[in-house]
Structure 1
Amino acid sequence: MIRSFIKPFTLACTLTVFTIFFPPVITISAEMPGTESISGKIVEAMNAAGYTYVNLSTANGPLWVALPQTALKVGDEISCKPGMEMKDFYSNSFNRTFASIIFSEGVIEGEPGNPHASALVPAATSQEDSFEAAVESEKQAPSATQIQPQLASAGSMGAIAPFVEITVEKAEGENAFTVGDLFDKAEELNGQTIRVRGKVVKYNANIMGKNWLHIQDGTGDPMKNTHDLVITTSQEIGSPSVLTLEGKLVADKDFGAGYSYDVIIENGSIVE
């Protein structure tokens, strides 16, 4: 009688153990890190949550890679350290889902872009750390509709503000343009005084003797970083607001040390 009682009890315990430990295996969504570096030409580059997202044209086709924020630009040929692959990764900052993206520790030393690596994100100690840090940053990042003005560096790619869902009426005047227009006509307007109206989405005070504004009006393409316009001014800006400003448009402005702009408005002044 004792033996017949113990056997069923032991079997029940064994089944309970399998029931507890089996399900977590099914929920894993990240692939193990690769062992080979990732090389290719940048066809898209965006910054968010302390990370740079690059779409690389590789020998095996297009591939998205996220790495600690680095000054990179379209056309750069880079090699990235291997990393963890995440499938169907949703980015809060860009409000989009990446079918597949590699979270890399960064550009391999000596490659283009590496000398300008941002100090905003400390280097990860392992591929798993890099992956977890990136995911956590995205979780904490505000969505595109929640962005608030903030202090940041005046660097080009490193300081582009995420796209804000707004509609701002174009300024009046013969020299008035939308933000998107200024990027589209940068070469034509280079050196000319222009007028633009937009909402201040980022304000950087007293950098290189100037105050730096980032304005948006709802035009431009966030995938090409033509939605966010930088304006330097000696005037102080109070609470974030919609402003009309005039200033000289400068195309392809390079301050050195990785700080460059496709379009920047210098010596801006508020006209209303």
Structure 2
Amino acid sequence: MLAALLLACTCGTATVATPPGEADTAHYANVAPAVVTEALAGDGRSYLHIKEASYDFWASVPAIDVKAGDHVLLGTGPLREHVHSADLARDFDVLTEITLVKLGDPEGSVVAPPPGGLPIEAIYARKAELAGKAVKVRGRVVKANKAIFGKNWYHLQDGTGADGSNDLTVTTQAEANLGDVLVAEAPLTLDRDFGFGYFFAVILEDAVVTVEGSTALPGDTERAAAIAPTAPEAADPLAIPAADPATSAAPTAQPKALTPLVPQPRTPGLPKAPSRTVFGLEVGTLDDAGLQAWATTRKLTCTAQAAARRATLRTECNVGLGASTFPERTSAGKYTQLLLSRTEAGPFHYLSLARRYSIPVHAGEEFEATVATLRAQFGEPTQLRPFDKAKLSAKILRFAATWNFADLDVNLSLFRAGTDYVTITETWSVPGIEAAVGARPGTTGHGGMKGKPAGWNPHVEDQPGK
């Protein structure tokens, strides 16, 4: 995470020294430590393979004396395709042509934790101990996805950790931008599976956030314009695309043979679930015809469509939802969404049901009642953040219970994120299936990358048609 990239030296032909007493006003576009993983010289330029947060790309810059492991500050430039280097006898499929480049100080890339807080690397190392406890962290936003499930989602890095332990996701109502430094505090949740490939080993949900700004980065006041995305932020990546009435009146035709599901539990040695049946559906076995028959008995109307960016098929059953639809649960709230998913050749393996309450105490009572029902079915939760009636008046709150088995994950969550209403979500899923599903051919990922050309990174300047 790039908290304060300080200028380290003036070596290299592309580096310009800043006169004493004067600020460096160059417009760098880094959103995290940009580390050189490979450096090649040719054609009077340097070709640098850069790793910057989740961005992995090649850049062509004026000749500079750098080596693998160095940190660099980079400006912006056009995205070039099919670039040939005569000296290297090599073709680059995609690279970013950047004029402004400067060596940076690796020590300046670490964001200090806030008072009472922890570095991101330590949070991963101590996650079992910290699960369910309030955690405070300071980091720079390296990825921002807004207005998803009524929340903003930020990936934070602070310069500590390695791949798999250097990026922490935070959900909040607070507004922040790519490159901002913020402090976030919330209970730490482990192994959070939202379905559709959205799995987080650790996450801070519904966090209280203070944005401290992004002044540590040279040229930061101009950086927002320099890295303006080439397409608007994606809408909810989990939302069902608008249905075509001519094609979506009935679920997609089921393949003749279903591929058996092979659960992939994240923790070795877990027992199998005593049952995988919820609301009369057995997770991991039902095809579209069986699902449609079930929906008919419950007086539901369902629409099935291919997921926009995942190689899965999703079924949404929102017409007909009501208190009488699920007698297995008591509800003084309003059912707002029933969502199911399966791989393109497999049975349905994921169910999510959401209900909304305008009276928080009713949500609390029904959260406790559902926990009791699931406890009777499965025993004690694997993880539990117990309900506390005294906290119901808080604008930011979350209580949760999770049961993990070798062939089933069940998650129950009550939360409010600055709204006047409280939501309870209940999810059932076969472990590891969604995470193993690849992207749909022709898509470029999810979140803020939707609509970006291949090879896009924060240093690509806006171009017509991009």
TM-score interval, normalised by the smaller of the two chains: 0.3 to 0.5
Structure 1 length-normalised TM: 0.40
TM-score, normalising length from structure 2? 0.24
